[in-house]
Amino acid sequence: MIDYSRVGLRDVTLRDGLQLTGKVLDVDVRVKLARTLLAAGVPELEIGSMARPDLVPPMAGTLDIVGQLTSEELDRCWVWVATPRHVVKAAAAGVRNFQYCLSVSDAHNKANIGRLTEDSVAAMPEAIAAAKEIGGRIQLCLATAFTCPFDGPVDPDRVRGIVADPRTADADDVVLADTLGQAHPRQVRELFASVESRDRRLVFHGHDTWGMGVANSLAAADGGATLVDGALGGLGGCPFAPGASGNTASEDLLFATRPDCLTPTVLADLVRAGEHLLADVDEQSRSRTAQGARSKAEAFAWVIGE
């Protein structure tokens, strides 16, 4: 039986969580949230994106965030990139962990990145070389690994083919993303169990559009994933994927997996942090754990008493 407490959380609030909101948060606010999450024991964070600010305004100031974090903090932080040039520019600013993202489906890759999937795969060796040159880590992140908003279901063999491609072989991790939240647990478990990871870490990025976020994350762990993505309050979604709603809530993932760092006090701090953030960006929480923590079941230690 899988010990789910050994499954790590990467909180993606500051990138995938914020990118659909209509408000650009001050850099200082985002840095404070990053430090709150790190202090709570969240192992890894996604803190921003090299996407053009005119296309994804909430990602403006990502490199300013990088500039305020210490090298020790940056060791636990990831930045989204889509081209070798992104890697070079981010590395010059101090980034050491790069999430190189492309979509399995051509239609979404063209909408999201402006090129065919093959073009992104072909450019990855250069991106890997740029990351390794400064001693950094780089992930192969495959969006639309299950379904595409334009083309529908994605052939698992296409996913496996990109993961096995020699041009992606030197990536440190493989991230499989259920971009639309349409996958189901058996499907997720089977895909993770079937990809050839080559001893690379497997990561699941799930969305909770159809209510399967936590179940799919646990299924991914059953299939070999050791890290799962979530965002406070279930905030977020892809601006270039119609029908993609919020991420799986970090609060829900932590409550389900119960890592050693999680205590009722830590959970309460994260629930409050999520509430403050959601109020700032005028969004409603989708986290069932956050809702439960505010219930009147006061005999339950995980309920916030104030």
Q: Give the 3-state secondary structure of the chain.
A: CCCHHHCEEEECHHHHHCCCCCCCCCHHHHHHHHHHHHHCCCCEEEEEECCCCCCCHHHCCHHHHHHHCCHHHHCCEEEEECCHHHHHHHHHHCCCEEEEEEECCHHHHHHHCCCCHHHHHHHHHHHHHHHHHCCCEEEEEEECCCEECCCEECCHHHHHHHHHCHHHCCCCEEEEEECCCCCCHHHHHHHHHHCCCCCCEEEEEEECCCCCHHHHHHHHHHCCCCEEEEEHHHCCCCCCCCCCCCECEHHHHHHHHCCCCCCHHHHHHHHHHHHHHHHHCCCCCCCHHHHHHCCCCCCCCCCCCC
Residue 271 CA to residue 262 CA, distance in Å, equals: 12
pLDDT score recorded for residue 259: 97
Q: What is the pLDDT of residue 23?
A: 86
Separation CA 189–CA 183 (nearest Å): 10
Does pTM top 0.75 for this prediction?
yes
Residues 300-306: contacts with CB under 8 Å, at least 24 apart: 301/264, 302/255, 302/264, 302/267, 304/268, 304/271, 304/272
Residue found under tokens 């309920």? 303
Burial of 259 (0-12, 13-18, 19+ CB in 10 A): middle
pLDDT tens for each residue of the chain, 306 residues long: 789 999 999 999 999 999 988 889 999 999 999 999 999 999 999 999 999 999 999 999 999 999 999 999 999 999 999 999 999 999 999 999 999 999 999 999 999 999 999 999 999 999 999 999 999 999 999 999 999 999 999 999 999 999 999 999 999 999 999 999 999 999 999 999 999 888 999 999 999 999 999 999 999 999 999 999 999 999 987 666 565 678 999 999 999 999 999 999 999 999 999 999 999 999 999 999 999 999 988 899 999 976
What's the pLDDT at 241?
Answer: 59
Q: Which of 276, 277, 254, 257 is nearest to 265 (CA)?
A: 254
> What length does the chain have?
306
Q: For residues 230 and 49, what is the distance between their CA atoms, to the nearest angstrom?
A: 16
**Structure-block tokens of residue 226:** 């050791």
| Active site (catalytic) residues | 238
The Cα 79–Cα 91 span in angstroms is: 10
45, 63 contact by CB (below 8 A): no
